Structure 1
Amino acid sequence: MNTIAYLDRLGIDSQSLGEPSRSTLRRLQRAHVTTIPFETLAVNGDPFDDADDGEGVHLDLPHLFEKIVEREHGGFCFELNGLFNWLLTELGFDAERVAARVIGSDGSARPPANHHTNVVELDRRYVVDVGMGVPSMRRPLPLDGEVRTDEAGVSWRVVESDRPDETHRTQYRYEPDGEWQDRYLFTDTPRMLTYFEATCDYLQSAPESTFTGDPVVMRATDGGHVKLSPETLTRYVGSESTESPVAESEWHDVLEETFGLDYRGA
């Protein structure tokens, strides 16, 4: 781990970081989600290159460092939270890998361990996640139910799970009096990175996986989120969104200008 190079990737001067604290953790998390995109191009490949099937996702920490920090690519949860956990521990945080289950639009939470998140022990225990799509979690979220609202206007909380197989449930809402929406379930049991390998392989190869269709790229912005599909660029502010068509000839330029990713010839 080259922490200086990783922090440079996040736009953070290592000399300005300070000791492990809640404010330092919040700064790291926000910088991560607004800088390094959630993207599935390693799974799907270039949508306009029939010969590019993607390099695949490999849960090896030196490989993840080379991909995300040195080549300045993004990744999905196992990659982003997997590497971020390494950075946090190198910086002196008490950070644990935790398996979670993202809840689908139909209410299902399958397969098990379909999401990697982190729990950090400070004055309290916090969920710290840099590996989600829209909306992204921008700040540490305490496990005691306290509501935290970010600068994009999204409120988050962790509540007790009503399922026998998981202990906690993360929820979010866009409006102060809006309905809470479930994001994912988890139990804060520490796991090794290898624990996620089977589900990672399934999600990047199974025809029924949500990740084996068209590639997607997402990143948090100062006031919302931005998302790129093969045909559309979508900008989110709160629960509102606007779509702009993206021509094939423009797609790689948008990818580089909006997300800082250059996959041409990758």
Structure 2
Amino acid sequence: MFNKLILHNRGGICFELNGLYAWLLESLGFNFVSFAGRFINKINVYQMRQHRNMCVTIDGKRYITDVGVNSESPRIPLLLEEQRVQSDGISQYKFTRDEFWGWLLWQKEKGKPWKRMLGFTEEPQLEKDYVFPSFWCDAHPDSPFNKEKELSIFREDCNITIRGNFLKFYLSGRVKYRYKIKNGADLKEVLWEYFGINVEYRLKNDGMDYE
């Protein structure tokens, strides 16, 4: 995983990114525990627990930290305290409690209302607890993660993504630039210029997703 993410500058799903992040926290001596959560994309739609995040305790205070979300999300550790509004300079965040979800993470992007992002409980997770959801995300036919290209990288003031055959720049929670990737050669240029990924081999279907 270190070879893939660090040496080859590749990304991964949350279980890979936060898995390596957990190793870093442990190697630096931080006191932390891993949780499992559910993303909230639609009202009354309950996803399986398919996300890993961590809770780090520093000087008696608990912080939620997460580097495995591919859309605009907290860029700083957030103090796990109910109703406290916190800002990372891009969006505002707060936590509330819920009988079903446990902790709810809310986000407020500039000019938009508050929305629920993620629900998680405080049940500690072992590394082996992530094997099944990780495999599901990677291989199951119902997984949303194996249908098209999904890339995301955070810059100081924006979030650059590829979804399918489209490159998008998000600024202040809105799409400011949209570009349709034409073919495999074009895709390789985009990957190198914006994501630092050098692809020297032939891509399946020339790297293009069916529309």
Task: Give the structure-2-normalised TM-score.
Answer: 0.87
Contact kept? 1:151, 1:222, Cα under 8 Å: no
1:230 and 1:247 map into 2 onto residues whose CA distance is 11
Match of 2:87 among 149, 172, 184: 149
Rounded to whole Å, the distance in 1 between the matches of 2:97 and 2:142 is: 30
Shift of 1:106: 4.5
Instruction: Work out whether 1:183 is the aligned partner of 2:183.
Output: no
CA distance, structure 1, for counterparts of residue 56 and residue 81 of structure 2? 13
Match of 1:121 in 2: 57
State the distance in 2 between where 1:202 and 1:237 align: 32
Spell out, residue by residue over 1:151-207, the C-alpha distance to the aligned partner (whole angstroms, 9 max, x if none).
22x1111211241xx42011101137x421111110122211110111111121122
On the 8 A contact 1:255/1:262 being kept in 2, the answer is: yes
Q: Would you say the 8 A contact 1:73–1:261 is kept in 2?
A: yes
* Cα distance, 1:247 vs structure 2: 1.6
Residue 262 of structure 1 pairs with residue 198 of structure 2? yes
SS of the equivalent of 2:121 reads strand
Do the aligned partners of 2:38 and 2:50 also contact (CA within 8 Å) in 1? yes
The 8 Å contact of residues 106 and 115 in structure 2, kept in 1 or not, is answered as yes
Whether 1:83 and 2:20 are equivalent positions in the alignment is yes
Query: How far apart, CA to CA, are the structure 1 residues paired with 2:98 and 2:165?
Result: 38
Mapping 1:1-266, distance limit 5 Å: 64-111=1-48, 113-123=49-59, 124-145=61-82, 146-152=84-90, 154-163=91-100, 166-175=101-110, 178-241=112-175, 242-248=177-183, 249-265=185-201
Letter in 1 for 2:141: P
The CA distance in 2 between the partners of 1:233 and 1:102, in whole Å, is 23
Q: Which segments of structure 1 move beyond 6 Å, counting only runs of 4 or more?
A: none
The SS at the match of 1:84 is: helix
1:95, 1:119 within 8 Å by CA — same for their partners in 2? yes
1:71 CA displacement: 2.0
String of CA shifts for 1:81-110, please: whole Å, max 9, x gaps: 111011011111112111111113354232
Aligned residues: 198
Contact 2:188/2:199 (<8 A) preserved: yes
Aligned residues of 2:104 and 2:118 also touching (Cα < 8 A):
yes
Equivalent position SS for 2:41: coil
Q: Secondary structure, in 3 states, of the residue corresponding to 1:120?
A: strand
- Residue segments in structure 1 that go unaligned for 5+ positions in a row: 1-63
Instruction: Give aligned-pair identity as a percent.
Output: 25
Unaligned runs of 5+ in 2: 203-211
Comparing both structures, which one devotes a greater share of its residues to strand? 2
Partners of 1:157 and 1:172 within 8 A in 2:
yes
What amino acid is the match of 1:84? Y
Q: Which amino acid aligns with 2:103?
A: H
Q: 2-side partners of 1:247 and 1:116: how far apart?
A: 34
Mapped partners of 1:117, 1:107: distance in 2: 23
CA distance in 1, matches of 2:126, 2:197: 29
CA contact (8 A) 1:147 1:157 kept: yes
